[in-house]
């Protein structure tokens, strides 16, 4: 019997896929950095039994309806807003994601972004690089304290809980808002559940970790930024579409809020002339929340184990939607 064909939409190390070669045939795009062109993705999907895809690949109705052999889409991400789940269901295609393995790494990045923004680290580096440091002064690049301040976490999933654990080490008061209360989390981490409006009004740091849904698209908009403290710092490590970027730009430009740290954007990649890149009080990162070598390898292995579980095991380990 011929082995299932798996198409991988980026070049990944051969030693990652080697353990799975006894069960699969693999074909992959030739570049690690450049996405597979749409026409080639459509062509390869037609022949594939499974896809291992990136968050930047659009697995939409067009692709799914043209891929009659396709059985499984393994997404290298926790989120799956790049995949049309309804179309996948209609075509009986299983979708999997990579939860848990990236939680701690993403929480590390979230807190690093918070610290870098609060203490103006990028500005300070550029200050020296541009030969502006001529003398010391008491308020030179003075930023905001993080310790003993109030952090408000919007979206208390696994990553939110991991960020909350880090916040306890800084003696922060931890507020959160979520679709459902997390009583065990409140007890374990001394967090306080509040309404969304109360959180944005009272937090010194507002951290967005919500999934992208119809309800969360442009959740952070003009009216929300107006509610925040003028000293508040906004951090987004969820999805760019959860933020009205024009409203955020205006809030930062006019001083409605103090600063922002962003790992995600509405349209990615952004360019150096993106409006938010022109503000000194913004730290922008290129969507690297889970980008440690160890975590990325664990994510790839989980994708491959999901494919293996479907084709030769008892089912995928982390299905988004499993269709028998």
Residues labelled catalytic: 239, 268, 287
How far is residue 44's CA from residue 63's CA, in Å, rounded to a whole number? 10
Instruction: Residue count of the chain, please give it.
Output: 324
- Of the candidates 223, 232, 251, 235, the residue with the CA atom closest to the CA atom of residue 150: 232
Q: Which residues contact 299 (CB under 8 A, 6 or more apart)?
A: 76, 77, 98, 101, 102, 290
Q: Residue 41: exposed, middle, or buried by beta-carbon count in 10 A (0-12, 13-18, 19+)?
A: buried
Q: What's the angle, vertex CA 31, arms to CA 27 and CA 103, rounded to 5?
A: 90
Sign of CA dihedral 82, 214, 275, 290: negative
- Asked if residue 10 lies in contact with residue 51, where contact means CB atoms within 8 angstroms, the answer is no
Query: What ranges make up the beta strands (E) of 13-167?
Result: 25-28, 50-53, 72-75, 94-96, 150-154
Map tokens 């509610």 to a residue.
227
Q: What's the angle, vertex CA 90, arms to CA 89 and CA 92, rounded to 5?
A: 60
Q: Which residues contact 32 (CB under 8 A, 6 or more apart)?
A: 10, 11, 12
* Furthest C-alpha separation in the chain: 74
How far is residue 95's CA from residue 97's CA, in Å, rounded to a whole number? 7
């Amino acid at each position: 019997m011929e082995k299932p064909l798996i198409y991988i939409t980026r070049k990944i190390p051969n030693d990652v896929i080697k353990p799975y070669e006894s069960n699969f045939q693999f074909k992959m795009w030739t570049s690690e950095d450049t996405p597979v062109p749409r026409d080639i993705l459509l062509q390869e999907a037609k022949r594939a039994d499974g896809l291992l895809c990136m968050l930047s690949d659009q697995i939409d109705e067009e692709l799914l309806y043209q891929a009659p052999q396709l059985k499984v889409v393994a997404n290298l991400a926790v989120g799956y807003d790049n995949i049309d789940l309804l179309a996948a269901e209609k075509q009986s295609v299983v979708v999997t994601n990579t939860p848990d393995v990236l939680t701690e790494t993403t929480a590390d990045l979230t807190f690093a972004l918070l610290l870098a923004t609060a203490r103006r680290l990028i500005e300070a580096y550029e200050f020296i690089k541009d030969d502006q440091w001529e003398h010391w002064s008491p308020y030179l690049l003075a930023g905001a304290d993080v310790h003993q301040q109030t952090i408000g976490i919007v979206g208390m999933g696994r990553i939110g809980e991991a960020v909350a654990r880090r916040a306890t080490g800084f003696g922060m008061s931890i507020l959160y808002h979520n679709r459902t209360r997390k009583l065990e989390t409140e007890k374990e981490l001394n967090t306080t559940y509040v309404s969304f409006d109360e959180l944005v009004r009272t937090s010194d740091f507002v951290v967005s970790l919500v999934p992208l849904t119809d309800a969360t698209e442009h959740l952070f908009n003009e009216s929300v930024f107006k509610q925040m403290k003028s000293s508040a710092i906004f951090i987004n490590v969820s999805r760019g579409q959860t933020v009205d970027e024009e409203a955020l730009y205006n809030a930062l430009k006019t001083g409605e809020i103090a600063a922002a740290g962003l790992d995600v954007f509405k349209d990615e990649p952004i360019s150096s002339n993106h409006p938010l890149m022109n503000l000194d009080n913004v730290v922008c990162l290129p969507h690297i929340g889970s980008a440690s070598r160890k975590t990325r390898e664990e994510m790839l292995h989980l994708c491959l184990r999901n494919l293996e579980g479907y084709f030769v095991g008892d089912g995928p380990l982390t299905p988004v939607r499993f269709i028998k």
